[in-house]
Chain A
Amino acid sequence: MKVKEGFKTTIGTLFRLFPLSTEPGLRAFGNPSEDSPVFVTSNFHLTVKRVSRYLKDLDCYLLVAPTSSINVWCAAVGGMFNAHSIISIIKTSGIGERVNHRTLILPQLSAPGVDTELIKDETGWHSRFGPVYAKEIPEYVRKGFQKSDDMRRVKFNLMDRLDTGVGVSLAFFLPVAVILAIFWRGWLLEFVALGGSLLLLMYASFTYIPGRSGWAKVLFYEALVAAGLLIYLFPLGGGSSYIRNLFLAAMILVPLIGIDFGGVSPLYKSDLDPLLHRVGIHRIGSVSFKGRATIKEENITLDQSECIGCELCYDVCPKGIYDMDESQNVAIMVKPDSECVACRACILQCPTDAISLRARR
Chain B
Amino acid sequence: MKILESAPHRYDAGINMLSLGRIDRLKKEIAENYISPGDNVLDIGCGTGTLAILCAERRASVIGFDISPQMLNIAQRKIEERHLGEKIELREMGATQMDSAFEDERFDKVVSTLVFSELYSDEQKYVLRQTFRILKPGGLLIIADEVKPNSLLKRSLHLVVRIPLAVITYVFTQTTTRELREIERAITDAGFRMIFTKRSLLGSLGLFVAKKAER
Q: Shortest Cβ distance from B95 into chain A, in angstroms?
A: 8
The chain A residue with its CB closest to the CB of B4 is A286
The answer to whether B121 has its CB under 8 Å from any CB of chain A is: yes
With a cutoff of 8 Å between Cβ atoms, the chain A residues found around residue B99 in the complex are 91
Assembled-state Cα–Cα distance A286/B3 (Å): 7
Q: Shortest Cβ distance from A155 into chain B, in angstroms?
A: 31
From B2, B6, B126, A92 is in contact (CB under 8 Å) with B126
A24→B6 contact, CB < 8 A: no
The chain A residue with its CB closest to the CB of B124 is A92
From B5, B94, B125, B174, A88 is in contact (CB under 8 Å) with B94
User: Interface residues, chain A, CB within 8 Å of chain B?
Assistant: 23-26, 43, 66, 68, 80, 84, 87-89, 91-93, 283, 285-286
The answer to whether B196 has its CB under 8 Å from any CB of chain A is: no
Which residues in window 15-59 of B have CB below 8 A to A? none
The answer to whether B122 has its CB under 8 Å from any CB of chain A is: yes
A92→B123 contact, CB < 8 A: yes
B3→A68 contact, CB < 8 A: yes
Q: Shortest Cβ distance from B61 into chain A, in angstroms?
A: 27
Q: Can you give 25 A-B contacts (C-beta < 8 A)?
A: A23-B120, A24-B120, A25-B121, A25-B122, A26-B122, A66-B2, A66-B120, A66-B123, A68-B2, A68-B3, A84-B94, A88-B94, A88-B95, A91-B99, A92-B120, A92-B122, A92-B123, A92-B125, A93-B122, A283-B6, A285-B6, A285-B174, A286-B3, A286-B5, A286-B174
B126→A91 contact, CB < 8 A: yes
Interface SS majority for chain A: mixed
Contacts between the two chains (Cβ within 8 Å), count: 42
The answer to whether B188 has its CB under 8 Å from any CB of chain A is: no
The answer to whether B156 has its CB under 8 Å from any CB of chain A is: no
The answer to whether B200 has its CB under 8 Å from any CB of chain A is: no
The answer to whether B96 has its CB under 8 Å from any CB of chain A is: yes
* Chain A to chain B: the 5 pairs with minimum beta-carbon distance, closest first: A286-B6, A92-B122, A88-B96, A92-B126, A24-B120
Most buried by B among A43, A89, A286: A286
With a cutoff of 8 Å between Cβ atoms, the chain B residues found around residue A66 in the complex are 2, 120, 123
With a cutoff of 8 Å between Cβ atoms, the chain A residues found around residue B174 in the complex are 285-286
Assembled-state Cα–Cα distance A285/B125 (Å): 30
From A68, A80, A88, B123 is in contact (CB under 8 Å) with A88
With a cutoff of 8 Å between Cβ atoms, the chain B residues found around residue A68 in the complex are 2-3
Assembled-state Cα–Cα distance A93/B96 (Å): 11
From B67, B96, B120, A25 is in contact (CB under 8 Å) with B120
B96→A91 contact, CB < 8 A: yes
From B5, B67, B94, B122, A24 is in contact (CB under 8 Å) with B122
Give 17 A-B pairs besides A24-B122, A92-B120 with Cβ atoms closer than 8 angstroms.
Answer: A24-B123, A25-B120, A25-B121, A25-B122, A26-B122, A43-B120, A66-B2, A66-B123, A80-B2, A84-B96, A91-B96, A91-B126, A92-B123, A92-B125, A283-B6, A286-B6, A286-B174
